[in-house]
Amino acid sequence: MKSNWVVLFVLLAGAGVLRADSVTAAPPENQSNDGTCEYLFAQCLQEAFNRSLENDRACVKAWCDKVFFFTFCDEEGLSNCSEKAEAVHAAHVRACQRAFADCMGMEVR
Amino acid sequence: MARWLVALLLACFGGLWVWLAVTSFSPSPAMPLLGETVGIWGEPVKAASPTQVGPLTRTEGRSTQFPPKVIVTAKSPGAEVWLDWENKVAKFFSRQGVRVFHPENWEKEGGLLPDGLDFLPLSLPSVAEVVTHCHSWSLSAFVAVAGWRGCPGWDDWADKLHSVHPEKEFVALGVFRGALGNSGRLDLNQLYRFPVDYQFIGGRGQACRPGWVRSLALQVLGHSSGSADVIGSTRLLATLCVADDFEENSWLQGKLSRAMLDAEPWDFGAHPGLMLGLGTWGGEDASAYLEDLRAKPNYFGQSMVMAWCSHLLGSASEQSPAYEIVKDLSPQDRARSAANTMAALDAFKKTGGKDFPLLDLLVHKTLNENDHSVKAFVMVHQLLVMGVEPALGVYLAEELAFQNPDFTPYLGMAAANLRGRSSPQENRLFLQSLGQLEKQYQGIPQSLADIRSARMILHADG
């Protein structure tokens, strides 16, 4: 059951990554010199970060239980889930960079 | 009857609890959270609203004068030493993957050496402290340490070193193998970042070879004679290798004094070596000097100086309680690592950014692949994007990328932070690292794309 939730969460997070381009892909025109691209980049990174925190929390909720003052985790499950969450974060950061490059009129080969 | 029923229910409940705890989960006792407002189980981690985020933080006020002008006030008042930054200092250190900083307001601050200080003997065992305390500058210390293999006390040092930096002994001895080459002569040009597959040379129980160590150390010293083509810390620490006959050897004494005078202030590797000598033998003068240094406002290498002062003087007035908590976090504590990292950085900010031992510890933990108690993505984001300590963030992003291709996306964040700064040398160091990474990750298209993307971002005109 937990695994299903984790898969669902990873998929949702992945979908979020796909949406990441749309967050910053359309900067205002002719603003690459006034810091707008940097601002959008920072905004995108912040969204990626916030989502990663949520994903991290979701992993803990999926693989750990709290009993009184103690936390019991399925370490392997938590480790795998955290790795996936970090991969999602990396993908999101990449998307932010791509959007930033687009905004700056760069073509990354 | 009712009493029996209640007892039976309690027994069932207790049994169920024990069964759940023992069979379903690996117990991992919860560590105390660092901050009241941050936690996974309680109040959610507070994430900043995107609308509150400003442009990427840039460090202001960096000196743009190269090469920096160094005024040595202690031994030769008024003397000016000009160093070829690009070709000698920066290149040497960048090969080690160490970011090189240069001083702000150096001319205003004056020299680092106190007047009247003329003789600074150093002691061998204390170098173990150097190695275990600092992470990013210690390549030259490793040269010294590697030479102690098999000497009395080596096992203790090795255990300490290994417990703090499991990967470092490994790398250090790789340096030796690579640097010695076929001729057996130490080639400083071969001192660069070594891949992780370097092997130990020999093992424990190896014979103590002080003569061999001395020979190597003298090569280091000889290499640097008359010119500043090797960084001061190398000379300082190499000198330590021959300290057993230091007092009888006036030539070495002169070398050490010279090295002390030449200790470049932006070389944060030189500070610990310098302070080691001061702290070990300098008595009250050294304490006063260290206190004075600690009181100075912003200068590069300050984090190392602060960490070292705290260590030497045993008075960590700037240290927050979070240091001890972070130190005690279990390396396997994944469950709260994000929250604890956020809280620890929050604690760092609350000290006015002065609890450098805490920051140093967090970086150590982030770079330790076996320690999961600190989240790398949180560290990088907070340091770079939120501007907690951007220069360190760039360094951390590079180091993480060298460790693992999964971390190469952070290079773009680092590049964006560096972009627009008026320090072409600093950018060039970053580009050199990107070049090394490109070679390292040939065959991993995703990482190569990240590296190229970072290069483009750095070069973008904006």
Interface predicted TM-score of the whole assembly (ipTM), two decimals: 0.74
> Nearest CA to CA, how far is A44 from chain B (Å)?
8
Chain B residues close to A109, C-beta within 8 Å: 452
Cβ neighbours of residue A74 closer than 8 Å, sequence gap 6 or more: A2, A63, A64, B24, B25, B26
Residues A59, B62: contact at Cβ < 8 Å? Answer: no
> Nearest CA to CA, how far is B179 from chain A (Å)?
36
Tokens of B67: 């090469």
Q: Is the pLDDT of residue B54 over 60?
A: no
More confident site: A62 or B106? A62
Q: Is the pLDDT of residue A105 over 50?
A: yes
> Which of A43, A97, A100, A104 is the best residue to mutate to test the B interface, defined by the most B CB atoms within 10 Å of its own CB?
A97
Tokens of B173: 């001895």
Q: Is the pLDDT of residue A29 over 80?
A: no
Compare all CA atoms of chain A with the CA of B445 and give the residue at the minimum distance: A109
pLDDT band per the 50, 70, 90 thresholds, residue B4: low
**B381 closest CB neighbour out of A49, A61, A72:** A49
Give all strands of the β-sheet with B26-28 in edge-to-edge order.
A64-67, A70-73, B26-28
Helix, coil or strand: residue A72: strand
Amino acid (1-letter code) at residue B356: F
pLDDT band per the 50, 70, 90 thresholds, residue B260: very low
Q: Is the pLDDT of residue A1 over 50?
A: no
Q: Is the pLDDT of residue B374 over 90?
A: yes
CA–CA dist B179, B162 (Å, integer) = 22
Tokens of A32: 């690459």
pLDDT at A106: 74
Which segment, B61-65, B138-142, B243-247, is predicted with the most confidence on average?
A: B243-247
pLDDT at B79: 23
Q: What is the mean pLDDT of residues B453-460?
A: 84
CA–CA dist B366, B373 (Å, integer) = 8
Binary contact (A100, B416; C-beta < 8 A): yes
More confident site: B242 or B334? B334
pLDDT band per the 50, 70, 90 thresholds, residue B292: low
pLDDT above 70 as % of chain A = 65
Q: Is the pLDDT of residue A70 over 70?
A: yes
Compare all CA atoms of chain A with the CA of B58 and give the residue at the minimum distance: A38
**Strands A64-67 vs B26-28: parallel, antiparallel or unpaired:** unpaired
- The size of chain B, in residues, is 462
Binary contact (B406, A86; C-beta < 8 A): yes
Q: What is the mean pLDDT of residues A17-29?
A: 37
Q: What is the mean pLDDT of residues A9-29?
A: 39
Mean pLDDT score of chain B, rounded to an integer? 52
The interface residues of chain A toward chain B in range 38-57, judged by CB-CB distance below 8 A, are 38-39, 41-43, 45-47, 49-50, 52-54, 56-57
Which segment, A101-105, B87-91, B419-423, B426-430, is predicted with the most confidence on average?
A: A101-105
The interface residues of chain A toward chain B in range 83-102, judged by CB-CB distance below 8 A, are 86-87, 89-90, 93-94, 96-98, 100-101
CA–CA dist B333, B340 (Å, integer) = 10
pLDDT at B275: 44
Q: What is the mean pLDDT of residues B376-403?
A: 84
pLDDT band per the 50, 70, 90 thresholds, residue B157: very low
pLDDT at B38: 27
pLDDT at B284: 44
Q: What is the mean pLDDT of residues B213-231?
A: 42
pLDDT at B408: 93
pLDDT at B368: 77
pLDDT at B351: 76
DSSP for B353-422 reads S--HHHHHHHHHHHH-TT--SS-HHHHHIIIIIS-SSHHHHHHHHHHHHHH-GGGTTHHHHHHHHHTT-S
CA–CA dist B249, B245 (Å, integer) = 6
**A43 closest CB neighbour out of B53, B378, B460:** B53
Binary contact (A87, B452; C-beta < 8 A): no
Residues B28, A71: contact at Cβ < 8 Å? Answer: yes
pLDDT at B400: 86
pLDDT at B445: 93
More confident site: B245 or B7? B7
Q: Is the pLDDT of residue B78 over 80?
A: no
Tokens of A91: 């993908």
CA–CA dist B417, B394 (Å, integer) = 8
Binary contact (A32, B412; C-beta < 8 A): no
Tokens of A80: 């795998």
Please report where in the chains the tokens 């979908």 appear, as a residue: A15
